[in-house]
């Protein structure tokens, strides 16, 4: 089945390819990057998530001449493709679009633009808005009315929470974590589970693990079922979410947290000496400075999760030159029909 917006929407480039050709193309993308960095390893079969599983999306909206366009940008354009369906998103995220159009028709009048960030957690949908409207009492009252009408848990506008009707929660391992506004969440729960299993298996037997770029604890909590975990993250609300969930979740080893910019101040060799395992899940930029320190460390095993093949290969090359072996590399396709691919690598001393 091909989406009615295919060829106009910039979100999916390869939806018209047969499955085998599509997966071969994604695999070849990874192979070429690894070759460029002179990395020779066995690449596992791609693990692809099912359609209609993506639980977060960033959309653009514009109101002109009384008509709201809401959706993704067209391919290589700033034009907005007015979304009627999406085979990637969870059904609840597409089902709410007509209601959001009605809200925007009222609130953007007579004309205006907005960016909408939608996240569906286990407890419902929350919305973050980027627009020019001030957070005055009139705007907040209108948003509260629309939140009730659309069943939204929370609305954030211009970076501030303006409406809260419920808590956004997600289960990570044994922990039920209350998400802060606009928190990072893996694109799909299905892909998240694959990555969690990979990380816990890679670090099996480790007694003390450093979870770097930990976010809200995607890997912290599964790891803490067997090991003491030190969770490091720059975003304070996400760290606080980890700490709060750790205090209320039984059956876990101790979890400590540390607010730190790992790009500028990676864990030092001295700080790493007490750990026998490290988990890395950096943003697209990778973890260059931390990789340099790890390459010179005595850490026995590293689980590296990356959403960018280029930065992964760059950092992997550093670890390999430092004496690690890349013993397993699994591509996880959480970005269906796009050029992006997630990688999970296991590095052993």
User: Residue 134 contacts by C-beta under 8 Å, 6 or more apart in sequence?
Assistant: 158
Q: Determine whether 12 is an active site residue.
A: no
Q: How many CB atoms lie within 10 A of CB 235?
A: 17
Please pick, among 3, 9, 86, 307, the residue that the annotation labels catalytic: 307
Structure tokens at 38: 């002179």
Question: ∠ CA 207-212-215 to the nearest 5 degrees?
Answer: 115
Angstrom distance (rounded) from CA 95 to CA 125: 11
Residue 272's nearest CA partner among 252, 296, 253 is 296
Beta strands in the chain (DSSP E): 47-48, 56-64, 67-73, 80-82, 112-121, 124-131, 152-157, 160-164, 169-172, 175-178, 208-212, 228-233, 255-259, 277-280, 301-306, 325-333, 342-348
Terminal alpha carbon distance of the chain? 46
C-alpha distances (whole Å) from 295 to each of 38, 61, 185, 316 are 17, 45, 28, 9
Instruction: Decide if 117 contacts 70 (C-beta within 8 A).
Output: no
Instruction: Output phi, psi for 46, to 5 deg.
Output: -70, 130
Instruction: Decide if 158 contacts 143 (C-beta within 8 A).
Output: no
Instruction: Decide if 216 contacts 242 (C-beta within 8 A).
Output: yes
Please give the positions annotated as active site. 307
């Amino acid at each position: 089945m091909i989406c009615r917006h295919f060829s106009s929407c910039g979100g999916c480039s390869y939806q018209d390819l047969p499955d085998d050709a599509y997966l071969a193309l994604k695999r070849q993308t990874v192979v070429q990057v690894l070759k460029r960095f002179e990395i020779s390893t066995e690449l596992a079969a791609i693990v692809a998530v099912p359609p209609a599983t993506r639980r977060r999306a960033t959309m653009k909206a514009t109101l002109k001449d009384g008509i709201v366009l809401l959706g993704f940008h067209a391919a290589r354009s700033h034009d907005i493709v007015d979304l009627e369906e999406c085979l990637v998103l969870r059904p609840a995220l597409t089902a709410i679009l007509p209601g959001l159009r009605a809200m925007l028709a009222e609130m953007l009048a007579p004309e205006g633009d907005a960016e909408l960030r939608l996240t569906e957690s286990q407890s419902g949908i929350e919305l973050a808005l980027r627009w020019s409207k001030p957070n005055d009492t009139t705007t907040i009252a209108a948003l509260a009315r629309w939140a009730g009408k659309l069943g939204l848990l929370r609305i954030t506008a211009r970076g501030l929470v303006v409406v809260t009707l419920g808590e956004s929660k997600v289960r990570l391992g044994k922990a039920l974590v209350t998400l802060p506004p606009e928190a990072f969440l893996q694109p799909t729960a299905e892909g998240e589970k694959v990555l969690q299993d990979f990380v816990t298996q890679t670090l099996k037997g480790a007694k003390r693990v450093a979870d770097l770029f930990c976010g809200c604890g995607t890997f912290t909590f599964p790891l803490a079922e067997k090991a003491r975990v030190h969770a490091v993250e720059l975003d304070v609300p996400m760290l606080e979410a980890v700490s709060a969930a750790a205090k209320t979740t039984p059956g876990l080893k101790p979890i400590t947290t540390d607010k730190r910019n790992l790009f500028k101040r990676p864990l030092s060799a001295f700080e790493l000496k007490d750990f026998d395992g490290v988990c890395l899940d950096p943003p697209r930029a990778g973890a260059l400075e931390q990789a340099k320190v790890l390459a010179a460390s005595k850490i026995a095993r590293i689980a590296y999760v990356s959403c960018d093949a280029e930065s992964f290969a760059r950092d992997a090359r550093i670890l390999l030159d430092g004496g690690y072996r890349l013993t397993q590399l699994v591509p996880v396709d959480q970005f269906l029909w796009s050029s992006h691919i997630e990688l999970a690598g296991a590095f052993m001393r």
